[in-house]
Amino acid sequence: MGRLSGKVALISGAGSGIGRASAKLFASEGASVVATDLSAGVEETVREIHAAGGKAISLNGDAGNEDDVIKWVATAVSEYGRLDIAWANAGVSSGAMGFRSFLEQTPEDWSTLLRVNLIGPFLMIKHAAQAMIPNGKGSIICTASVAGLRYGAGPAPYSASKAGVINLVQTASQELFGTGIRVNGICPGLIETGMTKSVYDRARAKGTEGKIGQLNPLQRGGEPIEIANAALFLASDEASYVNGQAYVVDGGLSSSHPVAGRGPLRFPGA
Protein backbone atom coordinates (compact mmCIF):
# COMPACT_ATOMS: atom_id res chain seq x y z
CA MET A 1 0.00 0.00 0.00
CA GLY A 2 1.35 3.42 -0.97
CA ARG A 3 1.36 6.35 1.41
CA LEU A 4 -1.36 8.03 -0.69
CA SER A 5 -3.28 4.92 -1.66
CA GLY A 6 -6.91 5.71 -2.49
CA LYS A 7 -6.39 9.48 -2.39
CA VAL A 8 -7.02 12.00 -5.15
CA ALA A 9 -4.45 14.77 -5.64
CA LEU A 10 -4.69 17.96 -7.70
CA ILE A 11 -1.30 19.55 -8.49
CA SER A 12 -0.89 22.80 -10.42
CA GLY A 13 2.31 23.68 -12.24
CA ALA A 14 2.80 19.97 -12.97
CA GLY A 15 4.27 20.46 -16.44
CA SER A 16 7.88 20.53 -15.26
CA GLY A 17 10.22 20.86 -12.31
CA ILE A 18 8.82 20.45 -8.81
CA GLY A 19 5.27 19.93 -10.06
CA ARG A 20 6.23 17.12 -12.43
CA ALA A 21 8.42 15.39 -9.85
CA SER A 22 5.61 15.61 -7.31
CA ALA A 23 2.90 14.36 -9.65
CA LYS A 24 5.02 11.31 -10.50
CA LEU A 25 5.88 10.67 -6.86
CA PHE A 26 2.30 11.03 -5.65
CA ALA A 27 1.09 8.65 -8.36
CA SER A 28 3.78 6.12 -7.44
CA GLU A 29 2.49 6.27 -3.86
CA GLY A 30 -1.01 5.35 -4.98
CA ALA A 31 -2.73 8.68 -5.61
CA SER A 32 -4.94 9.39 -8.60
CA VAL A 33 -3.46 12.63 -9.91
CA VAL A 34 -5.04 15.59 -11.68
CA ALA A 35 -2.02 17.37 -13.15
CA THR A 36 -2.52 20.93 -14.39
CA ASP A 37 -0.37 23.53 -16.09
CA LEU A 38 -0.57 26.37 -18.57
CA SER A 39 1.98 24.56 -20.75
CA ALA A 40 1.64 21.40 -22.80
CA GLY A 41 4.40 19.86 -20.69
CA VAL A 42 1.72 18.58 -18.33
CA GLU A 43 0.71 16.03 -20.97
CA GLU A 44 4.21 14.57 -20.91
CA THR A 45 4.01 14.37 -17.11
CA VAL A 46 0.86 12.28 -17.39
CA ARG A 47 2.36 10.06 -20.08
CA GLU A 48 5.27 9.31 -17.75
CA ILE A 49 2.85 8.48 -14.93
CA HIS A 50 0.88 6.14 -17.17
CA ALA A 51 4.08 4.46 -18.37
CA ALA A 52 4.93 3.72 -14.73
CA GLY A 53 1.49 2.21 -14.11
CA GLY A 54 -0.03 5.19 -12.30
CA LYS A 55 -3.36 6.98 -12.66
CA ALA A 56 -3.48 10.58 -13.86
CA ILE A 57 -5.21 13.03 -16.14
CA SER A 58 -3.94 16.36 -17.45
CA LEU A 59 -5.70 19.70 -17.70
CA ASN A 60 -4.48 23.00 -19.08
CA GLY A 61 -5.29 26.34 -17.55
CA ASP A 62 -4.11 29.40 -15.66
CA ALA A 63 -3.59 29.06 -11.89
CA GLY A 64 -4.51 32.72 -11.45
CA ASN A 65 -7.85 32.38 -13.28
CA GLU A 66 -10.76 31.43 -11.03
CA ASP A 67 -12.77 29.71 -13.76
CA ASP A 68 -9.83 27.43 -14.54
CA VAL A 69 -9.30 26.51 -10.89
CA ILE A 70 -13.01 25.77 -10.49
CA LYS A 71 -12.80 23.47 -13.52
CA TRP A 72 -9.76 21.64 -12.13
CA VAL A 73 -11.45 20.93 -8.81
CA ALA A 74 -14.73 19.92 -10.45
CA THR A 75 -12.90 17.56 -12.82
CA ALA A 76 -11.05 15.90 -9.94
CA VAL A 77 -14.37 15.22 -8.21
CA SER A 78 -16.21 14.10 -11.34
CA GLU A 79 -13.35 11.89 -12.56
CA TYR A 80 -12.32 10.29 -9.28
CA GLY A 81 -15.25 10.96 -6.92
CA ARG A 82 -13.44 13.11 -4.35
CA LEU A 83 -10.52 15.43 -3.65
CA ASP A 84 -8.11 14.73 -0.80
CA ILE A 85 -4.98 16.72 -1.67
CA ALA A 86 -4.51 20.01 -3.51
CA TRP A 87 -1.13 21.54 -4.16
CA ALA A 88 -1.01 25.15 -5.41
CA ASN A 89 2.46 24.80 -6.91
CA ALA A 90 2.20 26.92 -10.07
CA GLY A 91 4.22 30.11 -9.98
CA VAL A 92 6.15 32.60 -12.07
CA SER A 93 9.41 34.44 -11.50
CA SER A 94 10.03 38.16 -11.70
CA GLY A 95 11.75 37.66 -15.06
CA ALA A 96 13.41 40.73 -16.54
CA MET A 97 11.57 42.93 -14.04
CA GLY A 98 13.72 41.53 -11.27
CA PHE A 99 16.83 43.01 -12.84
CA ARG A 100 15.38 46.52 -12.96
CA SER A 101 15.75 49.01 -10.15
CA PHE A 102 13.02 48.88 -7.52
CA LEU A 103 12.19 52.46 -8.48
CA GLU A 104 11.71 51.46 -12.13
CA GLN A 105 9.22 48.64 -11.49
CA THR A 106 5.57 49.27 -12.30
CA PRO A 107 2.27 48.30 -10.67
CA GLU A 108 1.48 46.31 -13.81
CA ASP A 109 4.66 44.26 -13.31
CA TRP A 110 3.67 43.45 -9.75
CA SER A 111 0.05 42.71 -10.61
CA THR A 112 0.96 40.02 -13.13
CA LEU A 113 3.22 38.23 -10.67
CA LEU A 114 0.90 38.54 -7.67
CA ARG A 115 -2.04 37.20 -9.69
CA VAL A 116 -0.34 33.86 -10.23
CA ASN A 117 1.89 33.55 -7.17
CA LEU A 118 -0.52 34.75 -4.48
CA ILE A 119 -4.05 34.96 -5.84
CA GLY A 120 -3.51 31.54 -7.45
CA PRO A 121 -2.93 29.78 -4.09
CA PHE A 122 -5.91 31.66 -2.62
CA LEU A 123 -8.11 30.34 -5.42
CA MET A 124 -6.85 26.79 -4.94
CA ILE A 125 -7.53 26.91 -1.21
CA LYS A 126 -10.96 28.49 -1.71
CA HIS A 127 -12.25 25.90 -4.16
CA ALA A 128 -10.37 22.79 -3.05
CA ALA A 129 -11.57 23.34 0.52
CA GLN A 130 -15.20 23.35 -0.62
CA ALA A 131 -14.68 19.96 -2.25
CA MET A 132 -12.93 18.58 0.86
CA ILE A 133 -15.32 19.81 3.57
CA PRO A 134 -17.89 17.01 3.00
CA ASN A 135 -15.09 14.47 3.64
CA GLY A 136 -14.18 16.06 6.96
CA LYS A 137 -10.50 16.29 6.11
CA GLY A 138 -7.97 17.15 3.42
CA SER A 139 -4.49 18.50 2.83
CA ILE A 140 -3.79 21.71 0.92
CA ILE A 141 -0.19 22.67 0.15
CA CYS A 142 1.09 25.96 -1.27
CA THR A 143 4.53 26.59 -2.74
CA ALA A 144 6.17 29.59 -1.10
CA SER A 145 9.95 30.21 -1.09
CA VAL A 146 12.86 31.12 1.15
CA ALA A 147 12.62 34.45 -0.68
CA GLY A 148 9.42 35.01 1.30
CA LEU A 149 11.25 34.74 4.62
CA ARG A 150 13.72 37.61 4.30
CA TYR A 151 15.77 39.64 1.85
CA GLY A 152 18.49 38.03 -0.24
CA ALA A 153 16.87 35.16 -2.12
CA GLY A 154 14.91 36.96 -4.83
CA PRO A 155 13.76 40.30 -6.26
CA ALA A 156 11.22 42.37 -4.32
CA PRO A 157 8.05 41.44 -6.28
CA TYR A 158 8.76 37.70 -6.15
CA SER A 159 9.79 37.85 -2.50
CA ALA A 160 6.68 39.80 -1.53
CA SER A 161 4.42 37.35 -3.34
CA LYS A 162 5.97 34.40 -1.53
CA ALA A 163 5.83 36.16 1.83
CA GLY A 164 2.13 36.52 1.12
CA VAL A 165 1.84 32.78 0.54
CA ILE A 166 3.45 32.05 3.92
CA ASN A 167 0.93 34.29 5.65
CA LEU A 168 -1.88 32.85 3.52
CA VAL A 169 -1.33 29.29 4.74
CA GLN A 170 -1.38 30.53 8.33
CA THR A 171 -4.53 32.56 7.78
CA ALA A 172 -6.31 29.87 5.75
CA SER A 173 -5.61 27.18 8.32
CA GLN A 174 -7.48 29.34 10.83
CA GLU A 175 -10.27 30.27 8.42
CA LEU A 176 -10.89 26.53 7.94
CA PHE A 177 -11.17 25.98 11.70
CA GLY A 178 -13.12 22.83 12.52
CA THR A 179 -13.23 21.45 8.97
CA GLY A 180 -10.41 18.93 9.38
CA ILE A 181 -8.59 20.49 6.42
CA ARG A 182 -4.89 21.22 6.87
CA VAL A 183 -3.15 24.03 4.99
CA ASN A 184 0.64 24.12 4.86
CA GLY A 185 3.36 25.66 2.72
CA ILE A 186 6.78 24.65 1.45
CA CYS A 187 9.64 27.14 1.10
CA PRO A 188 12.18 25.75 -1.39
CA GLY A 189 15.66 27.15 -1.64
CA LEU A 190 17.56 27.13 -4.93
CA ILE A 191 16.18 24.21 -6.96
CA GLU A 192 17.05 23.37 -10.55
CA THR A 193 13.80 23.97 -12.44
CA GLY A 194 12.65 25.86 -15.51
CA MET A 195 12.39 28.99 -13.36
CA THR A 196 16.07 28.81 -12.36
CA LYS A 197 17.36 27.44 -15.68
CA SER A 198 19.07 30.70 -16.59
CA VAL A 199 21.04 30.66 -13.31
CA TYR A 200 22.27 27.12 -13.90
CA ASP A 201 22.95 27.68 -17.61
CA ARG A 202 24.96 30.82 -16.90
CA ALA A 203 27.03 29.07 -14.24
CA ARG A 204 27.74 26.10 -16.50
CA ALA A 205 28.75 28.36 -19.37
CA LYS A 206 31.21 30.19 -17.08
CA GLY A 207 32.52 26.97 -15.54
CA THR A 208 31.28 27.97 -12.09
CA GLU A 209 28.62 25.32 -11.63
CA GLY A 210 30.41 24.17 -8.47
CA LYS A 211 29.56 27.50 -6.82
CA ILE A 212 25.81 26.98 -7.13
CA GLY A 213 24.35 26.81 -3.64
CA GLN A 214 27.71 27.67 -2.07
CA LEU A 215 26.09 29.85 0.62
CA ASN A 216 24.15 27.03 2.28
CA PRO A 217 25.86 24.49 4.58
CA LEU A 218 25.34 21.66 2.11
CA GLN A 219 27.03 23.79 -0.59
CA ARG A 220 24.76 22.66 -3.42
CA GLY A 221 21.47 23.41 -5.09
CA GLY A 222 18.46 21.16 -4.61
CA GLU A 223 16.58 18.80 -6.88
CA PRO A 224 12.81 18.85 -7.54
CA ILE A 225 12.39 15.41 -5.97
CA GLU A 226 13.71 16.78 -2.66
CA ILE A 227 10.80 19.22 -2.54
CA ALA A 228 8.39 16.53 -3.73
CA ASN A 229 9.44 14.31 -0.82
CA ALA A 230 8.60 17.07 1.66
CA ALA A 231 5.24 17.60 0.00
CA LEU A 232 4.54 13.87 0.13
CA PHE A 233 4.83 14.00 3.91
CA LEU A 234 2.50 17.01 4.15
CA ALA A 235 -0.01 15.35 1.81
CA SER A 236 -0.02 12.07 3.72
CA ASP A 237 -1.80 11.08 6.92
CA GLU A 238 1.63 11.02 8.57
CA ALA A 239 1.30 14.83 8.79
CA SER A 240 -2.20 14.65 10.30
CA TYR A 241 -1.27 17.10 13.09
CA VAL A 242 0.75 19.53 10.94
CA ASN A 243 -1.25 22.63 10.08
CA GLY A 244 -0.58 26.28 9.29
CA GLN A 245 3.16 25.77 8.83
CA ALA A 246 5.68 26.76 6.17
CA TYR A 247 8.31 24.02 5.82
CA VAL A 248 11.71 25.27 4.67
CA VAL A 249 13.71 22.96 2.37
CA ASP A 250 16.80 24.96 1.44
CA GLY A 251 19.94 23.11 2.48
CA GLY A 252 20.16 25.31 5.58
CA LEU A 253 20.45 28.64 3.73
CA SER A 254 17.87 30.46 5.86
CA SER A 255 19.25 29.20 9.18
CA SER A 256 21.89 31.94 9.26
CA HIS A 257 22.52 35.59 8.64
CA PRO A 258 25.21 36.24 6.00
CA VAL A 259 28.74 35.40 7.14
CA ALA A 260 31.75 36.56 5.11
CA GLY A 261 34.98 34.64 4.65
CA ARG A 262 33.75 31.28 5.89
CA GLY A 263 35.40 28.08 4.68
CA PRO A 264 34.70 24.36 5.13
CA LEU A 265 34.99 22.87 8.61
CA ARG A 266 38.51 21.59 9.36
CA PHE A 267 39.16 18.85 11.88
CA PRO A 268 42.19 19.23 14.16
CA GLY A 269 45.25 17.72 12.52
CA ALA A 270 43.62 17.57 9.10
* Predicted confidence (pLDDT) per residue in 115-173, tens digit: 999 999 999 999 999 999 999 999 999 999 999 998 887 888 999 999 999 999 999 99
Domain residue spans in the chain? Answer: 8-249
Give pTM, 2 decimals.
0.91
Largest CA distance in the chain: 66
Give the residue from 199, 236, 194 showing the smallest Cα distance to 19.
Answer: 194
State the number of CA atoms in the 13 A half-sphere of 111 facing the CB: 3
Catalytically active residues are 158
What span, in angstroms and rounded, lies between the C-alpha atoms of 200 and 191? 10
Q: Which CATH architecture has domain 8-249?
A: 3-Layer(aba) Sandwich (3.40)
CB-CB neighbours of 262 under 10 Å: 10
Query: Which is nearest to 140 in space by CA: 172, 175, 171?
Result: 172
Q: For 55-92, what is each residue's pLDDT tens digit?
A: 999 999 999 999 999 999 999 999 999 999 999 999 99
